[in-house]
Amino acid sequence: MAGPNILHADLDAFYASAEQLLHPELRGKPIAVGGGVVLAASYDARAFGVRSGMAGSRARALCPNLKFVTGSFSRYQELADEVFTICEDFTPAIERISIDEAFLDVGGSEHLFGPAAVIADRIRSRVRTEVGLPVSVGVASTKFLAKIASQVAKPDGLVVVPPGEELEFLHPLPVGLMWGVGAVTGERLAEMGIHTIGGLAATPDDTLRRMLGRAAGSHLHRLSRNLDPRPVRHLPRAKSVGSQSAFGRKVPTPELVESVTRSLADRIGRRLRAKNNAGRTITVRVRRGDMSSVTRSRTYPHPIAATEAIVRIARALVADALADGPSEISLIAISISNLTAGTALQLELPLGDDSVERPGSDRGRRAWDLDRSVDAVRERYGNKSVRPASLLDERGVPDEFRELAERE
């Protein structure tokens, strides 16, 4: 019997954990994001009974030492994106359902990275090392059960539900863990004497439909028996193409910046050209050693897809981001937006700027031709068949997976 291949990754107490990451002085202390209402509470605060959605006055009464922070939601989005970019190194089949959680289907990746449980463990390790956040992962045969497993795994854990043991794992759990069982539905079920998922499964479908409504009753009854045929719906990013490299805290030497920038540009350029796309806006983000980030972008009149053009522009933007001289950096990210599909190369008369950033110039045309030739060789012989000399020692995910991800 094939093993489970659906993962549910859920960042633990995300907003609060992000604040403690960004502000180390808050680590180990009870904190809450919000003010009048608790939007998120750290596990240190939860130990006192503080919960999301609780009034701030009630939270303070439960935990007199509770510290409220206003939060930085743009930073939260950046950190969450870093986490799920790591997940993209293992599968392109990712369905994000909120800022801090997503489903992954790794069935097509196991021949590259090992069983789903191994993939889940590697994701957790990389998220902890490269981003600094705890993430709980559930592994199961269905989306419903994977989400339940990730809840059981919290905080900062991994739970795998083996095939054939799904109902044995599921039925003793409290019914409140189920999708669709909120406070009102939970009270109705309790009035019926239903407290566990197994109790729900043992209740006739007709009874549940009468008590909870036709659709809700049938839906919960099916889930209680782990009948969930929904696939992981991969929603490809259509607005931009990007990639990032997290490498721990390092001094931003010219050699490091050049190597990382060229590697990312090489990857992005090939993905753009594979779909016959180009973009006018190039954005870079540099994360400093203190976890703060600097973003720089530039928009051009002509859509760009040539690797060398992306390298030159990104290199200049990174230099601008490093102008204040941080002693260490831990991540460089590049993205291209304002995409244009089906781009044709419009040649220019040799009267103006002959730069690679102008696709129609003589130099730009030669860069385009070179990229197309390299792409053709790589398509036939693999990514490593032709590489810039500066990237010969680069280590990354296998060629086969990159090709799979780029075709999605």
> Catalytic residues, which ones?
101
Give me the sign of the Cα torsion angle 341, 345, 351, 357: positive
Other CB atoms within a 10 A radius of the CB of residue 215 amount to: 9
Give the DSSP H/E element, type plus range, for residue 337: strand 329-341
User: The tokens of 306 are what?
Assistant: 């040539």
Question: Which long-range contacts does 246-250 make (Cβ < 8 Å, 24+ apart)?
Answer: 246/82, 246/86, 246/130, 246/131, 246/287, 246/330, 246/331, 247/330, 247/331, 248/129, 248/130, 248/330, 249/289, 249/328, 249/329, 249/330, 250/328, 250/329, 250/330
Encoded amino acid at 156, one letter: D
- Pick the closest to residue 279 from 343, 352, 346, 353 (CA basis): 343
d(CA 169, CA 160): 10
d(CA 271, CA 253): 27
User: The tokens of 403 are what?
Assistant: 């090709």
- Pick the closest to residue 85 from 262, 249, 287, 254 (CA basis): 287
d(CA 154, CA 39): 18
Q: Which residues pair with 85 in a beta bridge?
A: none
Q: Which residues pair with 246 in a beta bridge?
A: 331
d(CA 277, CA 403): 17
Angle of helix 205-212 versus helix 183-191 axis, rounded to 10: 130
3-state secondary structure 247-288: EEEECCCHHHHHHHHHHHHHHHHHHHHHCCEEEEEEEEEEEE
310: left (phi over 0), alpha (psi -120 to 50) or beta: alpha
Q: Which residues pair with 283 in a beta bridge?
A: 297, 335
